[in-house]
Structure 1
């Protein structure tokens, strides 16, 4: 497809339209878990061990840091839809531009967020990135 061309006129877009007519199941319980994490106000904390003792970081802080890293480091064509932390696991929902390899884009973002959280907090965070939509560009 030529640069600047309307992706919706690309004949490959017909495959996306056909796929859009079929419901793709969201992983069981994902939306509910994300919404519950948002609603409860992130009352739990993530334990960060240190040489001089442990540190408790509120999940809201981890969530905000993960959002910032995701926004700054998302590959071109990846839009962040939602970020939530539940039980110390960062869940990220994204939309990818038509034509991108969704799995590769999600994995690249997952690595960036995990590395950023490790740099800032000193812990190996579990990060899951879920592609939930495709956008034309």
Structure 2
């Protein structure tokens, strides 16, 4: 039986190390968005209509539910780093194991979260999954 190779010894890992050394500029508008989020406090993210009226679900609740779903349904080799609700959109940050096709794993997780949130909340919710890191295993 062949012993598995340490991914950090793989020469392709040098590209990941080089990218990690580069300084990443703060995205335009990030500070303003964070300040807006803090100022608005616990805003309603979803309004679920019902026979007896509507139910308002706070952003924090939608975020926590989405985080639980993401952690439970993440494909093998995908780690959930953070989940937040921003402007009524669920944003999920993940890292993927080296060697996994990042966009396929992110899309699979996005579909799982979207489907389960819709099932549990009864309304469609927009979900974005962003691959922000690569881990060795």
Bin for the TM-score computed over the shorter chain: 0.7 to 0.9
Which consecutive unaligned segments of at least 5 residues does structure 2 have?
A: none
Structure 2 length normalisation: TM-score? 0.82
- 1:9-34, Cα deviation, whole Å (9 max, x unpaired): 12222232233344566764468746
| Aligned residue number for residue 135 of structure 2 | 135
Which consecutive unaligned segments of at least 5 residues does structure 1 have?
A: none
| Aligned residue number for residue 43 of structure 1 | 42
Aligned residues: 135
| Aligned residue number for residue 113 of structure 1 | 113
Separation in 2, partners of 1:86, 1:50: 25
Bigger Rg, which one: 2
| Aligned residue number for residue 83 of structure 2 | 83
Alignment of 1:92-103 (within 5 A): 92-103=92-103
| Aligned residue number for residue 69 of structure 2 | 69
Separation in 2, partners of 1:3, 1:51: 60
